[in-house]
Amino acid sequence: MGLYIGINGCSLKTEENLAVVAEIPLDSLMIETDAPWCDIRPTHASHKHTKTKFEVVNKPEKWASGKGVKGRNEPQQIVLVLEAICGIKGIAIEEAAAVVHANTEKVFFPARRGGGGE
């Protein structure tokens, strides 16, 4: 049907959710953070697949460039969604990133046909 399915941290909470993500073809996936909500938390089934750690401050008024705020999902955390998907599917992050990027270009820049200005 040519549809894409967006996955964020809230999509990756339970083992049942992970089983569904495992069945979605990579060329149908989009990833998102849904910031400032829907982060991947230590209690989520997908947390075991994440590797990247971010430096955070405890209070928003203490924010500094290059740091996040504890408890707030930041756009940079999209890599955690990608890491979780790669762990679930057993694929390399470079492969998944390339396909998801191409999917994004197909949706938002259809004239390019997902290929860097082809």
CB 15 within 8 A of CB 45: yes
- Give me the architecture of the 5-112 domain, per CATH: Alpha-Beta Barrel (3.20)
- Class of residue 45 by CB neighbours under 10 A (exposed 0-12, middle 13-18, buried 19+): middle
Question: pLDDT per position in the chain (118 positions), as tens?
Answer: 889 999 999 999 999 999 999 999 999 999 999 999 999 999 999 999 999 999 999 999 999 998 999 999 999 999 999 999 999 999 999 999 999 999 999 999 988 764 554 4
- Class of residue 56 by CB neighbours under 10 A (exposed 0-12, middle 13-18, buried 19+): middle
- DSSP H helices in the chain: 15-23, 78-89, 93-108
